[in-house]
Structure 1
Amino acid sequence: MIFVATAVALSAIVWVVWSLATHRDILPSGASVHSQTTVSVGLTDAPQSLDIRTDDSPAVERALLGNVYETLVSRDEHNQLVAGLAKRWTTSDDGLTYTFTLRSGLRFANGDTLDSSDVVWSLQQIVRNKYVGADDLAGLKSVTNPDATTVTVTLAHTDPTLLRALAGRAGIVYDQQAGMSTSGKAADTVGSGPFTVSGFAAGKSVTLTRNERYWGDASAAATVTLRYYGDDKALVEAARKGDVDVAMPANAAAAAGLAKQDPSLTVASGTSTSKVMLAFNNDDSSIFSDQQARQTVRYAVDAKSIAASQADSAGALGGPISQLEPGYEDLTSLFPFDQGKASQMIAYFAGGTSYFGVINFVVPQDRADLGNTIADQLRAVGLSVNVQTVDDATLDERIANGQYTMALTTMDGTDDAAVFGSSDNRFHYTSGSAQETYAKAMAATNDDAYAAAMKTFAKTVSEDAAADWLYTRKTTVVATSRASGYPTNLTDQYLPLGDLTIK
């Protein structure tokens, strides 16, 4: 009996040790041993600080939002709004009052309780100090908290984009007890997310460690280190050598090349809200202040073939709203590739092609080949095109100063179609019809009405050829076969890593 008891005890000890070593679940249902897995993620957009309040760089938001800091409302990888720190919300019939009900048991990483007073205080701080995201809260009239789990937001005017804003920096909930620090130091990044920041080297790395006080499901990995590389070439090499478990190159072609070199790596693709487009200078002094001139270019350029040929394309677009945004509609049929039609439209102008003059076409260096393809298609209908290849900073400067006729550029982010609904925009585009339809969208009192109105707005702007939207960009993830739980959609903007792990 002693022998049997001893054998059973030793067997149990061996089983427990083996289970821990292999991360097997040895606890009753509802409890588990947390994995001590460490994962490294390779990126190229390095944050220079951790101050998500004042640093408007997309890099700091990509690293911290959804990982260290959480928002009142959240979004899934299909860009749909879902419960965040608020488990539910209601909207009044007039669209002016939003009532949020917080989850129970919320805590910050330092152990402080997160309740409605923190929400109210955070919104006040963002607006008062004009932190990044404050512009999205311009319509706020009042914010109150009748009890610890309820927050009521009242607007001065309807704003159907409010909920989406509260899923971004405008909706971050900070710890009122800890106060608001903008030092950018790791110790001052007190959030309520699944990770805390345990290490930071500006431009080099951010180390995220499991938040043991997290109110939700524990992160799958104990530590996730974000490692930053100077360019996609260095990042791809790091993935090939196994220095990172997951890599997210900005250039999809680089990822495809890597997969051919190393079949043990998996290349997954997703969709972004980033759009590649031909921007027209609509200023009065430009040929493209004329609607027919803009429409001519849209017929002359083979947008569908371009979308099919580009490594970073998630599909042809045709309008200002991408597939993951409210109000999306396939508008690619509005201007089918028809160079005969383009030539007929050019003949409408006195002097024909000479009326257009020389089109100064500004193209970013990394898209020089695409720029030349587009220029050749325009030359095929008799237009004179001068391609000017510049770096990204110069491209932005040229567009801002109106020193271009046409530019190949990228628009990033959800709701950026709004630029075409304003009379004051960088493309100098002005349309009474576009402004009217956009105003109707902004007067919507619920999500369905907003999406329907934005669909009308997008078609109005596209029919007017305010620009030529070529395609939506895709996101790319390169991972070892051992990695799982990584997101694929929207990873160029939003990178929640709570489910990321390796076997």
Structure 2
Amino acid sequence: MHKSRNEWLRWVVFLVVAAVLSALVWVCWSVITRSHSIPGLLDSGPDTKVSVGITDMPQSLDIRATASASAERLLLDNVYETLLTVDQNNQLKPGVATDWKTSDDGLTYTLTIASGLTFSNGHTLDAGDVVWSLQQAITQKYADVDDLGDLKSVTNPNDSTVVITLAQTNPTLLRALSGRLGIAYDSEAGDADYAKQAVGSGPFTVGKFTPGQSLTLDYNGGYHGTKAHVGTVTFTQYSDETSLADAVSEGTIDMAAPATTTVASQMNGKDGLTVTEGATTDKVLLAFNNNSDSIMSDQNVRTTFRYLIDSAGIAASQSDSSGALGGPISPLEPGYEDLTGLFPHDMSKTQTMTSYFGPYLTTVDLVVTAQWQPMAETIKQQIEQLPRPSVNLEVVSDEEYVKRIQDGTWELTLMSMNGTDDAGTFADPNSIFHYNHAEVQQAYADARAATNDADYAEKMKVYARKLSEDAASNWLYTRKCFTVASTKLSGYPAALIDQRMPLADLTVK
């Protein structure tokens, strides 16, 4: 009896151990074959850390509700993926959507969503999440939602297809879907605090965020694509360019991006550092107030000023210039054409034109903020080479400047415009430029009615030329951006880093 009981006990122990081992084997196999459901469990990533200095840390990470350029720059392509993305030449490329087709009438867009996508919490990303995200943007009136145009419907006939139908053409819809409006959010994320956290599908996750101070991005081991090459990227805000320059020079940070021209010039040639230049869509212009009570409402006066001011010389003298412009569209935007030859600097022609105006040209108000004062002084000197007009240069605070521009109490100002397709601002007579020209407005309307990218680009070229020929403003040059980085770093982007800074390919030697 005793022997029989021992044998029974041994069998019980054997069965229990076998069951436990079987369970462990099953769990391990499940983890191996479905590791995306437990992000990072088997892939903790590299232990390399990179520190980046910036000057504009966001106060909130919720780029849905606020049009924060800094949050967009840090999060897009890193934490969040968009339906489409752009390359270093600002050309549209596949993102969450691997392919897209547009109907002949330009009213229906069919996007194919990649398979096997997951959010950082392990949830599957499919067409349903894309539709939900677009619907949320519309119903919650998220930032820049008007860029989507007049949407008639957004549906997903299956998990891999999204169909967007428009009530009227919007040739820049795909461009909008490459930015904040194209982010795919997790429809099952619940009450995630997007101001401090993020549930994205990119190669990084948000590790720690201190508003206005720092942001740490962590390697996403569950990322469905090519994984990041570094373990963490920490962005730290510096209050001014001097402290930023000191930090990168002393090795406190590995990279300053984007760096100002001052920081870039100070670090150029310094051992252990590389200064890189890249193109942007940031356009610097001497803007004209075309309101009816402004002297600049006269097309002949505007033309005179464009011949009078040495735009090419100004462009060549600026350390942040990538070249003279001449029109409202930069080389990285659809519809670009070199318009610098329309109004070459010509003092003889200017003298003839100003003598025609007689006492009509007296004084013009040039209102700027402190950052533009040196260039404004140059423009003032160029204008005052002639007996008339004189220039009343006013350097005002940022707050006062906003008020003056909105109130229309200015005639000339220096400013920049940074965004693809922002040339359309001049077609709105209620914009700050108060430019009202029926033929130009019709040209822009024709461009907006385009049903494909090629047609849109050609019609924007026509619009831009008409706008420049009428001297609606004086477009001086396109800016370039700068990155200062340790020579041990590679794989970081050079162009467009003022708008987005994808760092998945960032590598430490």
Indicate if the aligned counterparts of 2:45 and 2:221 stay in contact, CA closer than 8 A.
no
2:382 — aligned with what? 377
- 1:68 aligned counterpart, secondary structure: coil
Alignment check: 8 A CA contact 1:236 1:249 kept: no
Native 8 Å contact 1:300 1:381 kept in 2: no
CA separation in 1, counterparts of 2:368 and 2:193?
Answer: 37
Shift in CA distance, 32/107, structure 1 to aligned 2, threshold 3 Å: closer
Equivalent position SS for 2:85: strand
Residue 56 in structure 1 maps to residue 72 in structure 2 = no
Matched, 1:89 2:100: yes
CA contact (8 A) 1:248 1:477 kept: yes
Match of 2:247 among 238, 241, 251: 238
Q: Distance in 2 between matches of 1:116 and 1:183?
A: 21
Q: Which amino acid aligns with 1:192?
A: S
For 2:470 and 2:383, locate their aligned partners in 1 and report how far apart those are by CA, in whole Å: 19
TM-score (norm 1): 0.91
Partner of residue 5, structure 1:
none
Indicate how the Cα distance of structure 1 residues 126 and 180 shifts in structure 2: closer, same or farther if over 3 A, else same: farther
The alpha-carbon distance between structure 1 residues 303 and 406, as it changes in their structure 2 partners (threshold 3 A), is same
The alignment status of 1:359 with 2:364, answered yes or no, reads: yes
How far, CA to CA, are the matches of 1:179 and 1:292 in structure 2? 60
Query: CA offset at residue 345 of structure 1?
Result: 1.1
Whether 2:208 is the aligned partner of 1:202: answer: no
Q: Is this contact kept in 1: 2:259–2:483, CA < 8 A? A: no
Name the CA distance, whole Å, in 1 between partners of 2:363 and 2:429: 27
**For 1:316-366, what per-residue CA distance to the aligned partner results, in whole angstroms no more than 9, with x for missing partners?**
1000000100000110000001111111111222xx2x3122111012212
In structure 2, what is the equivalent of residue 396 of structure 1?
A: 402
Q: 1:37, CA displacement in angstroms?
A: 1.3
Which residue is 1:129 aligned to? 140
Gaps of 5+ in 2: 1-41
The amino acid that maps onto 2:381 is D
What letter matches 1:160 in structure 2?
P
Match of 1:289 among 289, 294, 297: 297
1:388-427 paired onto structure 2 within 5 Å: 388-427=394-433
Partner of 1:318: 326
Same amino acid, percent of matched pairs? 52
CA contact (8 A) 1:255 1:476 kept: yes
C-alpha separation between the residues in 2 aligned to 1:396 and 1:470?
22
Q: Unaligned stretches of 5+ in structure 1? A: 1-30
Distance 2:399 2:478 in 1: 22
Distance 1:428 1:122 in 2: 36
Aligned to 2:478: 472
1:135 Cα offset (Å):
1.3
Distance in 1 (CA, whole Å) between partners of 2:89 and 2:265 is: 23
The structure-2 alpha-carbon separation of the partners of 1:341 and 1:259, relative to structure 1 and needing over 3 Å to count, comes to: same
Counterpart Cα distance in 2 of 1:420 and 1:402: 15
CA shift digits 1:110-140 (9 cap, x unpaired): 0000000001000000000001131112311
What is the alpha-carbon distance in structure 1 between the residues aligned to residue 335 and residue 149 of structure 2?
23
Q: Which amino acid aligns with 1:462?
A: S
Deviation for aligned residue 1:183: 4.9
Residue 53 of structure 1: CA displacement? 1.2
Distance 2:137 2:71 in 1: 17
TM-score by length of structure 2 reads 0.90
| Superposed displacement of residue 250, structure 1 | 4.7
**Are 2:285 and 1:274 equivalent residues in the alignment?**
no
* 1:217 aligned partner: 226
Separation (CA, whole Å) in 1 of partners of 2:429 and 2:467: 13
State the one-letter code of the partner of 1:295: T
Letter in 2 for 1:257: Q
The answer to whether structure 1 residue 77 and structure 2 residue 88 are counterparts is: yes
More divergent stretch after superposition (68-77 vs 87-96): 68-77
For 2:494, the equivalent position in structure 1 comes to: 488
1:115–1:391 distance in 2 versus 1, CA, 3 Å:
same
Letter matched to residue 334 of structure 2: P
Q: Distance in 2 between matches of 1:92 and 1:249?
A: 39
Deviations 1:135-184 (A, max 9, x none): 11231110111111000000000000000000011111100011364551
> CA, structure 1 residues 180+124, in 2 after alignment: closer, same or farther (shift >3 Å)?
farther
Q: Give, as a single letter, the amino acid of the residue that structure 1 aligns with 2:317.
A: S
The superposition leaves residues 356-380 of structure 1 with CA deviations (integer Å, 9 ceiling, x where unpaired) of 2211101221221111001100001
Paired residue type of 2:368: V
CA contact (8 A) 1:136 1:165 kept: yes
User: How big is the shift at 1:34?
Assistant: 4.4
Deviation at 1:249, TM superposition (A): 4.4
SS of match in other structure, 1:118: helix
Secondary structure of the 1:248 match is strand
Larger Rg: 1 or 2? Answer: 2
Tell me the amino acid that sits aligned with residue 183 of structure 2. Answer: I
* Helix, strand or coil at the partner of 1:418: helix
What letter matches 2:431 in structure 1? N
Alignment of 1:431-450 (within 5 A): 431-450=437-456
Q: What secondary structure is seen at the aligned counterpart in 1 of 2:268? A: helix
